[in-house]
Amino acid sequence: MSKPKVFEKPVGVRDYLPHAVAKLRRIELSALDCMRRWGYEQIITPTLEYYDTVGAASTTSDRKLFKLLDHRGTTIVLRSEMTAPIARVVASLLRQAPLPLRLSYHANVFRAFDEGAGRDAEFFQTGAELVGDASAEADAEIIALAASSLQAAGVPSFSIAFGHVGFLNGLLEEKLPGRRDEQDLLKDCLLKRDFVGYRDRLRELALDGDDRRALEEVLDLRGGREVCDRALALGRSGEVRAAIRQLGEIWDVLGAYGVQHLVSVDLTMIGDFSYYTGMIFEGYASQLGFPVCSGGRYDNLLAQFGRPAPATGFALKTTRILEVVNGQAEEHQRVLILYASRSLAEALAEASRLREEGLTVVTASLRGQDDWEEAEKLAASGAEGPFEFRGRTFDRLILFGKREEEAP
């Protein structure tokens, strides 16, 4: 590649200008504050982690991890998500802390995508993890908290679909007992959202007609509570029943939270099977082609860090949410103080006073004829309401001193 031009950045990273930052901060703070109200405490972990620990435990595929070498030659990764780092903290620094633990975070995470894929290499996630509670109430709490956080973040309209990896695992084992390779093939199709491939594979497999129909019908299992009954008609194994029972319980608890109108059961929802162990979910906003949040239960992760514990959690795709949230008006009034040089002390004292009150105050001294003419014109036009001064917008103008007082 040729030497980069001075304005260029590596592919997939971006700058955020003041307007976007203001919006991003509002989303982040509202979401974190929402999580605080649910008892989730924020933690910060490092950007760099070891490849062999957090890198290996994370759900991100090896190819998509940013890797580098430290001065000793140890492989380091830029964190690709926050769940594995939090699992590491819970199993080490917070080892003595009694469970359940409720933790929240806001962080930049990194993914190496193929050039030209048009995806961000660095983006923000705001999320929560509930560690040490295996109940359906815990899963429902996480889904309800996700809904509440999306509302707090200002996402205008959204819906959440949730499923359970145990259902498909159980159903495949029931219909294709011991045929692990064939099960993996089918799961792989679903993971890639390739329904055509899934149906093709099913046709090729040695299966009895009813079993094949049952596995085909999986692709239609979505809707309300009734989906659970339809799913139960397809499989009888213990794992299938357990998964469906849990989904039903989660559904009922979500009713108690008053968010049932926002959720649906969706058994075509497929997560990474090596990572998720139970409920999984995604949130969708209208007018945005990508999910705004995702999460699920991962009961095996903590054991990899030496403290086995059930856990469930989610992450808001904060950078995506930025695209759907409307820019709200600046909350603080912006004051412009212009002053003659003799009135400097007076002007800056007033600025301090207004800043104490929480207003945004910008000061500028008036130096030449042109400055004074502009200032007097602004003052004459009322000095109230939004006006522009040197490319910035202000709500109020205060003028200190007079032109005549200036030394010629």
Partner 1 sequence: MSEMDWLTVVMPKGRIYGDAVRLFRRAGLPVPEEDDESRKLIVPIAEASLRFILAKPADVPTYVEYGVADVGVAGKDVLLEENRDVYELLDLGIARCRMCVIGLPGGKLPIYPRVATKYPNVASRYFREHGQQVEVIKLNGSVELAPLIGLADRIVDLVETGRTLRENGLVELETMFEITSRLIANRVSYRTKYAQIRSLCDRLAKAAETAAAGGAAG
Sequence letter at residue 214: A
Sequence letter at residue 181: D
Q: How far is CA 364 from CA 186, 211, 352, 399, in A?
A: 68, 78, 14, 10
> In degrees rounded to 5, what are phi and psi of residue 317?
-85, 80
Instruction: State which of positions 246-275 bind partner 1 (CB under 8 A).
Output: 264, 266
What are the residue ranges of helices labelled H in 258-368?
A: 301-304, 318-324, 344-356
Site string for partner 1, 36-55 (x = CB under 8 A): --------------------
Q: Does 185 bind partner 1 (CB under 8 A)?
A: no
Q: Does 286 bind partner 1 (CB under 8 A)?
A: yes
Answer for which of 16, 195, 273, 389 binds partner 1 (CB under 8 A) is 195
Q: How far is CA 273 from CA 164, 165, 185, 242, 374, in A?
A: 10, 7, 13, 17, 66
Answer for which of 6, 196, 329, 407 binds partner 1 (CB under 8 A) is 196
Closest C-alpha to 186, from 161, 216, 160, 162: 216
**CA pair distance 164, 273, nearest whole angstrom:** 10
Q: Does 226 bind partner 1 (CB under 8 A)?
A: no
Answer for which of 16, 50, 273, 284 binds partner 1 (CB under 8 A) is 284
Q: Does 62 bind partner 1 (CB under 8 A)?
A: no
> How many chain residues touch partner 1 (CB under 8 A)?
23
**Neighbour-count burial of 69, counting CB atoms closer than 10 A to its CB (0-12 exposed, 13-18 middle, 19+ buried):** exposed
Q: Does 203 bind partner 1 (CB under 8 A)?
A: no
Answer for which of 159, 260, 333, 363 binds partner 1 (CB under 8 A) is 159
DSSP string of 361-385? Answer: EEEEE--SHHHHHHHHHHHHTTSEE
Which of these segments, 45-53, 176-184, 278-286, 303-311, binds partner 1 (CB under 8 A)? 278-286
Q: Does 290 bind partner 1 (CB under 8 A)?
A: yes
Answer for which of 4, 18, 98, 118 binds partner 1 (CB under 8 A) is 118
Q: Does 161 bind partner 1 (CB under 8 A)?
A: yes
Q: Would you tell me which residues interact with partner 1 (CB under 8 A)?
A: 114, 118, 159, 161, 192-197, 199-200, 222, 264, 266, 282, 284-286, 288-291
